[in-house]
Structure 1
Amino acid sequence: MAENDRVAVWGGEPMPLMPYSPAIKAGGWVFIAGQLASDFVTGLAPEAGGDGRNPNGYNALELQSRYVLENLQLTLEAAGCDIATDIVRIYQWFSSPHPTIEEFWEGNAWPKISITPYLRTRDEFVHPPRPASTGMGIRETGLLVNKTILEVDMIAIPGGGTQGFEVPEGVPSPLAGYSPAVRRGDWIFCAGEIPVDWMGDYMQGNDMGTPSGVAPEARVNPYFWYGSEIESQTDYVLQKLEKIVQAAGGSIQNTVKATVYLASPADFEGMERVWKQWFPENPPARVVIPYMGLGGKGSRVEVALKVLADDASIQKETIETSDAVESPWHEPQAVKAGDFLFFSTAIAHDELGNLPESVQRHPEFPWYKQPPRLQMAYIMDNVSAICEAAGTSVENIVRRQCFHDDFTHFQQSIEEWSTYFPGDRPASTTLEIGGPLQVPGAQFLMDLIAYVPPS
């Protein structure tokens, strides 16, 4: 197999029920699909507590974490990777009854859970310098298998040589044992940053209003009617990331892809205002995902970046085509760097940011049409045009994360999705986050990465 071939990897993990590959290897990277603690036969796997078996007396999260990480280890080994040293980016999703949708709309993104049992297990498998990390709380019904409470996906680059970076002076140090940034070759992968100083008001009596973990510099005084919390928090997060990227040998202006996690779609406008100030020209590809439970009480935004180092041998290229709908937000359709194409939020929208009429049911004909299929087809028509403009094709998509407002739309959308991949299907993670999304009436959004074969 040539290094740049796009191939699926199967490592003996349970056979999934939906059309995806456990991993896709392309361009020297390995994209790992989301793993749940399921055998895809009985539901929650017996070894993960599905039959009540737990001889070691593990916490439920610890028990499921061990099952998930053991299967991820198998997949990575089949791809020629070492789980201990070759992961550069890890994504973790933890289910919780909080926040509710109502709490999200109030700006409350606190999940009210502890992930320490997971971290304890992770540290047995993944060694320092640990990969850049994102951990998110999602709704209690947010995973596709009943009784599962954790999903994990990854990006790995085989061969070792990852360089980890500590936080620079003046930047608060995270508590969860991950690297704020790691570098592999031309790329800097940044962990998700939230607007906290990892101290907050704990054991202090000088808080303003409700006790919070948000750093003082990111707060708005609640006793006056001035200021915007989401703007202050977004600006503080980007200040932190700017220093972290510089310490790792890059510039935040050379960001290829940003992922923004919000408490509520209501925070989009304020975040967007700050984004334009930080990236006035040539902004990175960006995916914005609402209804995310954040790991610092009072936080409303988290941002994670993929950045090219200052001395990188490749450059980023903004991809825009008139054959796809123009984004109404401050983000390009996609950005290409090296062998990969990173898309901005893939969601059904028109040039004004509204849901296109073509994907909707007529209110007088409520039983006609299948909106989930129509929305997926609409999105994929645009994705196909963007791929073509970048010198690749839809069949070369390597990774997708899909976020649904309601899982009742899942089956139709995934069936439509699968029609675009006659060969190896992309690695995939699918979650339910709630709604409405930032485009009212949209039923899901996707975060996509495609492989661009060398010409």
Structure 2
Amino acid sequence: MSHIRPLSPITIPGTDVCFAQGVQAGNWVFLTGHEATDFATGLAPEVLGKPRFPLHGAPKHRREGDFILRRLDALLKEAGTDHAHAVRLDQYYPTWKAVDPYHDARRAYFGDYIPPSTSVLMPELLHPGADINTSMIAVMPGEGRTVQRVSQSRLVAPMGSGFAPVVTVGDYVFVAGQMAHHGGDIGVDPSAHVPDGGVRWSGTEIKLQAEFILSELIHPALAAAESSLAHVVKAQAYLAHVEDIPLFMEVWQAHFANHPCALSVVPTEGFGLAQGILEINIMALKRHGATQKEIIACDVPSTMTYGAPAVRAGDLLLLSGLMATDEAGAIASVETAAGMPYHAVGARSQMGYLLETAQRICEAAGTSLDKLLRVHQFHTDLREFYPMHKVWHDVLPGQPIPFAAIRVPGPMPAPGCTVMLDLWVYAPIG
């Protein structure tokens, strides 16, 4: 199967924003950036509830979770698959108070199998009042695409979450977001934490947590799934403190320097683990599978990413998080536009530069940007969403875009940049 089609594309009334609620491409289904909106007025009326009776009925966040999951279910059915074939969930919340009610909705929908999940706190979502943003990846039913839990993995989901920490489907391995603990709700593992009140130079917190996650959690989980760190194709690292990136990358490179992957390093406001300052999720390939990892060589400034420009894994092209930099820093037009903030010159120039770069990476991999599967835009200011989205439609006129737009705490890892792009692209073989 080599076709690609948007699922229930919708143009937001009164705008030229065309949103692809999902994309079905070959045997993959991507549902991206879902919030409990009616696409016309903001949050759906059934989520808002009765204005004169705010304390009647289910909690607002439960209504919000139920609404999103009903919409995802309808999109899965439109694609010809179901929640039993889901392999990954990503959730962003502006408040921790939304998480438990959403988990109740999630358990009611998924039942005994909840796919590997990553949940982090972010300052703001695209729609005022929205407290849950969800993306899902699933596969089409068929031979060789049965989702299987990795039962021998030592990973354990947090007690209230209930997701499968590791699953495989065909040659692909999906590992849920991991933090520096052994599951349950007991806090950071002592071996990954600088002792409170102890010797100040007894370790560095970010290095201890990073090493613990990679060595004690992800490495054995991949081994149990017949994979390894060398076969990782895509990772997202959510960091509480951008100033920790050099120390984090020191640990990361000790594991990945000889076999890089696509990597997005995303500023994050908070985590489920109160003392946690880092969460990492992983996608990998089985060691002896037919699908091979291919690092894409492309002339991209080294400052734009923290990983390989992109990695091809079968019919998926996975890009590292991109920022609009050259070797001198943020691209020159960002600095020159600083005196005209309300003309959106900096926003538009960043997105134009990023899409031009992404297209070159796609061409190097033998595909094109119009085969988008998923776009996560991490903004420091959501007021830049619309001028940046206009650039998408300049580059891909008339094409629905499968986007999520999330505000992250500033600054970005590259000073002056205000957006990071995390892209997945379809790269059909043959």
Matches of 2:221 and 2:341, distance apart in 1: 51
Deviation at 1:16, TM superposition (A): 11
Could you say if the C-alpha distance between residues 14 and 51 of structure 1 is closer, same or farther in structure 2, counting changes exceeding 3 Å? Answer: farther
Matched letter for residue 152 of structure 1: T
Contact kept in structure 1, 2:89 and 2:117, CA below 8 Å:
yes
Does residue 252 of the first structure (1) align with residue 210 of the second (2)? no
Q: Which residue of 2 aligns with 1:418?
A: 393
Matches of 2:261 and 2:14, distance apart in 1: 33
Q: Please report the TM-score for the alignment, with normalisation by the length of structure 1.
A: 0.87
Task: Provide Cα deviations, 1:382-429, integer angstroms capped at 9, x if missing partner.
Answer: 111111110011111221011110112111111112222235433111
Could you say if the C-alpha distance between residues 86 and 13 of structure 1 is closer, same or farther in structure 2, counting changes exceeding 3 Å? Answer: farther
Matched letter for residue 95 of structure 1: P
Deviation at 1:145, TM superposition (A): 1.3
Q: Which residue of 2 aligns with 1:333?
A: 309
Q: Which residue of 2 aligns with 1:92?
A: 91
Matches of 2:81 and 2:339, distance apart in 1: 55
Contact kept in structure 2, 1:163 and 1:182, CA below 8 Å:
yes
Task: Provide Cα deviations, 1:36-61, integer angstroms capped at 9, x if missing partner.
Answer: 11112222211112543789721111
Does residue 80 of the first structure (1) align with residue 89 of the second (2)? no
Which of 233, 251, 258 matches 2:209?
233
Q: Please report the TM-score for the alignment, with normalisation by the length of structure 2.
A: 0.92
Matched letter for residue 149 of structure 1: D
Which of 132, 146, 150 matches 1:161?
146
Matches of 1:399 and 1:16, distance apart in 2: 24
Q: Which residue of 1 aligns with 2:336?
A: 361
Could you say if the C-alpha distance between residues 233 and 272 of structure 1 is closer, same or farther in structure 2, counting changes exceeding 3 Å? Answer: same
Q: Which residue of 2 aligns with 1:431?
A: 406
Contact kept in structure 2, 1:13 and 1:75, CA below 8 Å:
no
Matches of 2:337 and 2:66, distance apart in 1: 48
Matches of 1:11 and 1:426, distance apart in 2: 9
Q: Which residue of 2 aligns with 1:99?
A: none
Q: Which residue of 2 aligns with 1:5?
A: 3
Matches of 1:11 and 1:350, distance apart in 2: 35
Contact kept in structure 2, 1:361 and 1:369, CA below 8 Å:
no
Matched letter for residue 260 of structure 2: P
Task: Provide Cα deviations, 1:75-116, integer angstroms capped at 9, x if missing partner.
Answer: 111111112x011111111112xxxxxxxxxxxxxx5x3622
Contact kept in structure 2, 1:65 and 1:118, CA below 8 Å:
yes
Does residue 219 of the first structure (1) align with residue 193 of the second (2)? yes
SS in structure 2 of the partner of residue 288 of structure 1: strand
Summarize the alignment of residues 215-364 of structure 1 with structure 2, pairs less than 5 Å apart: 215-222=189-196, 223-226=198-201, 227-239=203-215, 240-322=217-299, 324-327=300-303, 330-351=306-327, 354-361=329-336
Matched letter for residue 320 of structure 1: A
Could you say if the C-alpha distance between residues 11 and 446 of structure 1 is closer, same or farther in structure 2, counting changes exceeding 3 Å? Answer: closer
Q: Which residue of 2 aligns with 1:407?
A: 382
Contact kept in structure 2, 1:44 and 1:145, CA below 8 Å:
yes
Q: Which residue of 2 aligns with 1:185?
A: 170
Could you say if the C-alpha distance between residues 13 and 421 of structure 1 is closer, same or farther in structure 2, counting changes exceeding 3 Å? Answer: closer
Q: Which residue of 2 aligns with 1:108?
A: none
Matches of 1:330 and 1:94, distance apart in 2: 25
| CA RMSD, 1 decimal | 2.4
Contact kept in structure 1, 2:377 and 2:405, CA below 8 Å:
yes
Matched letter for residue 338 of structure 1: G
Matches of 1:198 and 1:295, distance apart in 2: 12
Contact kept in structure 2, 1:14 and 1:39, CA below 8 Å:
no
- State the aligned residue count: 421
For structure 1, which runs of at least 5 residues remain unmatched after alignment?
97-110, 202-212
Matches of 2:390 and 2:34, distance apart in 1: 20
SS in structure 2 of the partner of residue 281 of structure 1: coil
Could you say if the C-alpha distance between residues 16 and 150 of structure 1 is closer, same or farther in structure 2, counting changes exceeding 3 Å? Answer: farther
Matches of 2:358 and 2:85, distance apart in 1: 30
SS in structure 1 of the partner of residue 228 of structure 2: strand
Matches of 2:339 and 2:286, distance apart in 1: 55
SS in structure 1 of the partner of residue 354 of structure 2: helix
Matches of 1:412 and 1:315, distance apart in 2: 38
Deviation at 1:454, TM superposition (A): 2.1
Contact kept in structure 2, 1:91 and 1:134, CA below 8 Å:
yes
Matches of 1:369 and 1:431, distance apart in 2: 18
Task: Provide Cα deviations, 1:108-163, integer angstroms capped at 9, x if missing partner.
Answer: xxx5x362211111112113332110111111xx1111111111111110216110
Contact kept in structure 1, 2:69 and 2:109, CA below 8 Å:
yes
Task: Provide Cα deviations, 1:198-225, integer angstroms capped at 9, x if missing partner.
Answer: 4566xxxxxxxxxxx1111111124212
SS in structure 1 of the partner of residue 330 of structure 2: coil
Contact kept in structure 1, 2:62 and 2:105, CA below 8 Å:
yes
Q: Going by fraction, where is helix more abundant, 1 or 2?
A: 2
Q: Which residue of 2 aligns with 1:447?
A: 422
